[in-house]
Amino acid sequence: MFKKILIANRGEIACRVIKTARRMGIKTVAVYSEADKDARHVELADEAVLIGPAPSRESYLVQDRIIEACRQTGAEAVHPGYGFLSENAEFSRRVEEAGIVFIGPKHASIGAMGDKIASKALAAKAGVSTIPGWNDAIETPERAVEIAKDIGYPVMIKASAGGGGKGLRVAWNDKEAFEGFSSCRNEARNSFGDDRVFIEKFVEEPRHIEIQVLGDAHGNCVYLWERECSIQRRHQKVIEEAPSPFLDDKVRKAMGEQAVALAKAVDYQSAGTVEFVVGKDKSFFFLEMNTRLQVEHPVTECITGLDLVEQMIRVAAGEKLAFKQKDIKREGWAIECRINAEDPFRNFLPSTGRLVKYRPPAQNMEASQPVPPGGGVRVDTGVYEGGEIPMHYDSMIAKLIVHGRDRNEAIARMREALNGFVIRGISSNVPFQAALLAHPRFTAGDFNTGFIAEQYPKGFSTTSVAHDQPSFLLALAAVSHRRSRERAATLTGQRRHREVRIREDLVVVLTDAAGLRDHIPISVRPQGSMFEVSIAGLTHEVAFEDNLRDIAVHGTFDGQPFCAQIERSGLGYRISHNGASLFARVFSPRHAELEALMPFKAPPDLSKVLLSPMPGLLVDVAVQVGQTVRAGEKLAAIEAMKMENILFATQDCVVSEVLAGKGDSLAVDQVIMRFQ
């Protein structure tokens, strides 16, 4: 067994590998860029080596510096994590030639499966079901349109070296095929250094289900069941679960056996994942093989009890698998939510900056440790409160994983965990995840990869989610106000006859985007350790367990436990629960009358300017001063967190001024151009 390994990665996955290595008694070496000098993985590792400036192409993607870091520290093996160089066959080969063990498959296996065009031919030869398409590299957008027509729309345009949703577009017509091909090539060239693109038929109403495989150097290979990864946004996974609520045991077995057949065909020696697209009739087709550890591997760990990082290390050290296919258990249900630094209320644009507050929910599970009886909550992360989320890397803050005895228990546990996950200073997709977990179609298991686009066609907003019990949110606002007044009444030094007065009769004021106010009478009366709240003729009992200063609060509502987020903002309270959010101001009846006379301040008109929706690098300005632009035409492109975001005109206009140039670093809401 190795005495020291180097982790050629950063963030959450680097911290995850360190935990297993530490349990196995293996020392660890972290590598870091200048932007990550204070990162959590650097602190956790036994040693750390600086490998370059912030951009990944100058640090985490520089093979020579990582190999040199191994020589400097005496690391005997390299774990690549996921992303960066994890599926780079050349890196694997160079590591092996340097006398260092690559904790992953052999470079020949990576090469065979990393090329999506060659892998499809290999899969077909191995007897794996494959999807119709054009599997040769396509040279021009015109040729891409011709091929797409022949296959029949819709088609999927994919970069051969792509992954993680990058270098991938779905086209429904000639225009989208033409533009999607160009975007895929550019994105693939920038992210992977390989701009080959191919096209395949897009299966409508598809499910994305993947099989985890594990092979050793002694000819043994097993599958560790499946993961359901159909909840996706822009082809990036949002929620993963194991097992799938859709498959039956017959299909599950057939998919597992095909995945093993493919792995054996390339002499696969490590953990890997074979991805399938599954139709509504349970027919399935091979998509690709990921020759690395997957982001969503924790859900497989939860239901099998196996530590996949440990298995990768043991296989790389030459050990045989200690179990056969019949020994692999499948217990309970696990769900993972990816918590990303993005603003769901601004079309999920990246959000960077300082984590002013980072309070994950209470945990009783941990990576590399056994799952406790009855399951629980686990958080895999590489961040900490007060740390920075840099713009140079991917947007993941943490992975929230739960395990329950069945799917309903896992969903209930995840909903409570999301309600209690506090992130401030940057935006996160926690509200969106909470809304998804509360959606009736998700709870019924009735979804496919188009679920998010279908359910949120105009994007996600506070009005996208209706709480199933609106009086619950109103009651929390009113009781929070009552508790705040009670605390204020205890302050010393109050002037006589000017003391804080506590009233039972209150008015909750809700104001919509147009300034229309809704006044809701409500009364709050203390009853021992709880409050009796009357709204619209109904009475509810509310009790809190937490202090006023806490954002995530626990308590009971009509005897049922809850976890919600309550935050004071000016004269009001922001209440968030199960993805629904409410901003309420609470007044006395007289104050409410006076407040109704106050003018409404409308938000500024931003139709004449183009603002940068995120911090990032301006990589393209597609228009000039004086140019007439039609709605839907490209204005500019911004690169942030390894993704290219194109800004389009929302209406016909004429460009009057361009205030930023290609190569400029932009701040959020910085003006890029003005229109007449």
Catalytic residue numbers, as ranges: 288
Residue at token pair 């159909």: 230
- Where would I find the H helices in 33-173? 40-44, 63-73, 89-97, 107-114, 116-125, 141-151
- Where would I find the H helices in 362-450? 407-419, 430-438, 440-443
> What is the distance between the alpha carbons of residues 381 and 360, in angstroms, rounded to a whole number?
10
Paired tokens of 142: 């015109």
Q: Is the peptide bond before 470 cis (omega within 30 degrees of 0)?
A: no
Q: Collapse the DSSP code of 315 into the 3-class scheme (helix H, G, I; strand E, B; otherwise coil) and give the result.
A: helix
In sequence order, the 6+-apart residues with CB closer than 8 A to the CB of 605 are none
Paired tokens of 269: 């020696």
H/E run at residue 298: helix 297-304
| Helices first, then strands: H and E counts in the chain | 17, 39
Paired tokens of 327: 């020994």
> Beta partners for 637?
620, 646
Q: In Å, what is the CA distance from 491 to each residue of 208, 328, 486, 495?
A: 58, 62, 9, 11
With CA atoms as reference, report the closest residue to 660 among 605, 623, 631, 606.
Answer: 623
Residues in the chain, overall count: 676
Q: Count the Cβ atoms, other than its own, within 10 Å of residue 496.
A: 5
For 254, half-sphere exposure in the C-beta direction (CA atoms, 13 angstrom radius) is 15
> Beta partners for 519?
509
Q: Count the Cβ atoms, other than its own, within 10 Å of residue 232.
A: 19
Angle at the Cα of 213 (from 87 to 338), degrees rounded to 5? 65
Per residue, the 3-state secondary structure of 224-290, as one string, reads EEEEEEEEEECCEEEEEEECCCCCCHHHHHHHHHHHHHHHHHCCCCCEEEEEEEECCCCCEEEEEEE
> What is the distance between the alpha carbons of residues 613 and 630, in angstroms, rounded to a whole number?
20
Residue 382's identity, in one-letter code, is G
**C-beta of residue 435 within 8 angstroms of C-beta of residue 442:** no
Residue 520's identity, in one-letter code, is I
Q: In Å, what is the CA distance from 373 to each residue of 298, 363, 364, 400, 413?
A: 16, 14, 11, 19, 15
The torsion angles phi and psi of 3, rounded to 5 degrees, stand at -95, -25
H/E run at residue 554: strand 552-557
Paired tokens of 445: 């298991």
Q: Collapse the DSSP code of 215 into the 3-class scheme (helix H, G, I; strand E, B; otherwise coil) and give the result.
A: strand
Paired tokens of 216: 């050793």
> What is the distance between the alpha carbons of residues 76 and 1, in angstroms, rounded to a whole number?
10
Q: Is the peptide bond before 53 cis (omega within 30 degrees of 0)?
A: no
